[in-house]
Structure 1
């Protein structure tokens, strides 16, 4: 009598989607105290399931990587450095892990949004262009095949930057009255408003008025930043309607966007473009303001530019080898 075995039954798309989301959960950027399960993210599960069912690569969009903070006490300059390099490598590695569960793999579209609100955060447009161009170069030279960069130049070409900003704002941004009402009634929006206000205050290095006047101005600008950020999100949805939306801002479980932490940092709001990277003696990396990292370690250069700091005791040879990767 011949013994036969039944063919392996492929996993259900919903099961695969949950496995993929479980890869993201350890990196969830949130202010929630308890870690949520995959079932707490029904919107993300539905979108991932659609890709799995179609046998297509899962597309994630990540608004962020806008430009470096203009405050020299926070960053090493206006170009990407080790913080961005490590973050890009993390995102690419995450896509590789997803490919082990879902063979068609995954792709992250980095939606670089510096030009969207460059005038509000007081960063020159040529610095923003240089930052985005360097991101593309890092991705290409590092062989990060699961990543790409999308910015306003891909949408509106070589129009003047102010014209592009006005176009996006007029077509997609919520009204100021509607946003003010939301800040008054919605806790996550209030937290976002406060977080952006804090960043604007910290990023201002040359204000000559009083502290209270600076805070008033930054509160006003924070509304504009949120308006433009919402507009950018709506534009991205038009261009990538089926993508799974990631966010560099903290997001509660079940939100439409999945907050993702790129590197370890003291709080849930710190990003590579508001900080410098410090290499710890145990080989890990931490993001913190440049002024603090400078007190804790020595500056390391890469390709003739400041790259990161190395805490005493990290081991010169090991750190140098890590920096070359």
Structure 2
């Protein structure tokens, strides 16, 4: 803070996460097990808070899918715990769905070092956020994450993204988030006061984690990265994941593991191709050709991955 007016501005903001929780005022007088039970009891309402935002979350998924279809990117921007959760969500998309920074990228105030070292002061740098946002393109989607809904670094990035024509969204645990009115879609999660006053790494962070998992998973499903509930774009970079790819083929087709492994090898390790070959009874080469005719397409509502359509075409001799 630079002067008294800065302090007055922050103190005047309304945020439930800064309120004192009347149910936990005696927490420091409890034995360990009771502390644990109290924390867990308070966490029960987090899921309901995210469920209440299902409508705007669904609209955000549609907006994100549209951005990716148009060749744009999804940019997560955050600071502190919110930013670290964003980095985690983006990083895990590569091994799970083979999606990397070409589609989803996260930016943390203070840079990569802030993942493991506190750099909380970086969140007040509006100018740094604005410099970052100047690189966002008109076809992109910028998602700001901030418990308070006012973080200057996030505000700067959202403002610059909007100036460049990008769509903007906010995920916040403050129902009165100051940034909400300046974004296209606001996901406002009313998690209430924290167990420890102002410790937004707790209920607020859990809610943001659930919202991010829900958002990115729904986007990947609509982008055709799954067949049923199986991750057919998983990168099998270790023995556990290699076994998972074979197990998924067994689960999807009912065929034995040896046969599934054989076809997967013939398909060059591509689960999608092996799946179509096994389901259609055709070769991996024929499956690959069919999938080229029916690539993933979110407009194909009941088969975004193209797997069912490709199998039907092969079975009909198409």
TM over 0.5: no
TM-score, normalised by the number of residues in structure 1 = 0.26
Q: Which has the higher contact order (CA 8 A, sep 6+)?
A: 1
More strand by share: 1
TM-score, normalised by the number of residues in structure 2 = 0.26
Task: Give 1 or 2 for the bigger CA radius of gyration.
Answer: 2
